[in-house]
């Protein structure tokens, strides 16, 4: 579901306490705000409550006053909230290596405004995809990786992220493992995509390995990065059935399609403020 362009987004979470839904919805009613979308979830295992509301503001709406009043109302619940204004477009940096399918898909969806974001830079450890970024009039930074001095390369990456004011980093088939330090700096604001094959195939040519085992499912997983390789909190997954007639090149082609769609879905959830981190898991509303 896409966000309406004229609505505010209110997201909040707090311990599971009686009256949490009422605290939010009654406040919106009292402020004359019209709710257009509402989702909430109470996690009985972690005893934590999550809520996301889209609403239209009344005439004379004052953001500062609204924030102050909600902070006061939510204080007794231990509520943490964020308020996102209409037409807000977060700045995004995309990191790539040589594969172009995910980058091309994200830039296309930005161009047609399916993803309401502004890609402010593309960073790569290879020069191959610079023409694609330049065609979209997006700065391209080629930072080759010296295996003997990885911190220097990552420092250049982090400088671009900081200088552009990017709120989200998307690893669109960036085929390098990030250091623990960079993972820590990007905690909760960097999304990675990778193939999902059962059983798991690691190393070179995973789709060829999958073909040799006769896999029947091909998929992809989009997740927030952390220091555990490809094991961060999952945001979205996609899967399609395959059979004996799919040769390795067919599996690779299907994998590309699923990766592009799954990554775009995860990025969309993030920029629409639908994803909440809940320990090592996510809640997607």
* CATH code (residue 65): 3.30.70.260
Domain boundary among 50, 84, 118: 84
24 — phi, psi (to 5°)? -80, -55
Of the candidates 62, 84, 106, which is a domain's last residue?
84
Residue 3 lies in a domain: no
Nearest to 235 by CA among 257, 268, 266, 189: 266
The distance from CA 104 to its chain's CA centroid, rounded to whole angstroms, is 17
pLDDT for 230: 67
The DSSP symbol for 127 reads: S
Q: Are residues 108 and 19 in the same domain?
A: no
- Which residue among the candidates 42, 43, 118, 230 is catalytic per the annotation? 230
pLDDT of residue 204: 81
Q: How many domains does the chain have?
A: 2
Please, what's the b/e burial string for 177-201 (b: 16 or more CB within 10 A of its CB; e: otherwise)? ebeeebbebbeebbbbbbbbbeeeb
Predicted pLDDT at 6: 86
CB 258 within 8 A of CB 218: yes
Q: Which domain holds residue 96?
A: 91-284
pLDDT at 229: 65
The parts of the chain modelled with pLDDT lower than 50 are: none
- Judge contact between 123 and 94, C-beta under 8 A: yes
Strand partners, 15: 48
**Which residue in 80, 88, 85, 87 sits closest to 24, CA to CA?**
80
Residues 72 and 39 in one domain: yes
Instruction: Please identify, among 84, 108, 128, the residue that sits at the C-terminal boundary of a domain.
Output: 84
Using alpha carbons, list the distances in angstroms from residue 212 to 197, 199, 205, 215. 13, 12, 11, 8
Residues 149, 22 share a domain: no
Quick check: is 1 in a domain?
no
Q: How many CB atoms lie within 10 A of CB 220?
A: 27
Q: Helix, strand or coil for residue 33?
A: coil
Record the tokens describing residue 83, joined without a space: 């308020």
Same domain for 252 and 237: yes
Q: Verify that 143 and 248 share a domain, yes or no.
A: yes
Annotated catalytic residue 187: no
- CA–CA distance, 187 with 199 (Å, rounded to integer): 28
Instruction: Name residues whose C-beta falls within 8 Å of residue 259's C-beta, 6 or more positions apart in sequence.
Output: 101, 102, 173, 193, 194, 195, 220, 238
């Amino acid at each position: 579901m896409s966000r309406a362009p004229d609505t505010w987004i209110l997201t909040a979470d707090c311990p599971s306490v009686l009256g949490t839904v009422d605290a939010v919805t009654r406040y919106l009613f009292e402020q004359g705000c019209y709710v257009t979308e509402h989702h909430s979830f109470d996690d009985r295992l972690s005893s934590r409550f999550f809520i996301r509301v889209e609403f239209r503001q009344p005439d004379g709406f004052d953001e500062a006053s609204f924030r102050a009043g909600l902070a006061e109302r939510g204080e007794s619940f231990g509520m943490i909230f964020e308020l996102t204004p209409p037409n807000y477009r977060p700045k995004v940096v995309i990191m790539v290596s040589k594969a172009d399918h995910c980058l091309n898909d994200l830039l296309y969806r930005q161009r047609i405004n399916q993803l309401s974001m502004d890609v402010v830079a593309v960073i790569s450890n290879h020069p191959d995809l610079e023409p694609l970024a330049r065609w979209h009039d997006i700065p391209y930074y080629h930072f080759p990786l010296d295996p003997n001095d990885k911190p220097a390369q990552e420092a250049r990456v982090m400088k671009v992220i900081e200088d552009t004011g990017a709120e989200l980093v998307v690893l669109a088939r960036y085929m390098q493992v990030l250091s623990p330090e960079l993972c820590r700096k990007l905690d909760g604001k960097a999304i990675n995509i990778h193939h999902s094959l059962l059983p798991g195939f690691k190393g070179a040519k995973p789709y060829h390995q999958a073909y040799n085992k006769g896999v029947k499912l091909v998929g992809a997983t989009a997740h927030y990065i952390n220091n555990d390789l490809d094991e961060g909190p999952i945001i979205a997954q996609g899967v399609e059935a395959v059979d004996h007639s799919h040769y390795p090149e067919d599996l690779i082609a299907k994998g590309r399609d699923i990766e592009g769609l799954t990554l775009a879905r995860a990025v969309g959830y993030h920029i629409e403020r639908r994803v909440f981190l809940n320990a090592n898991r996510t809640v997607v509303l």
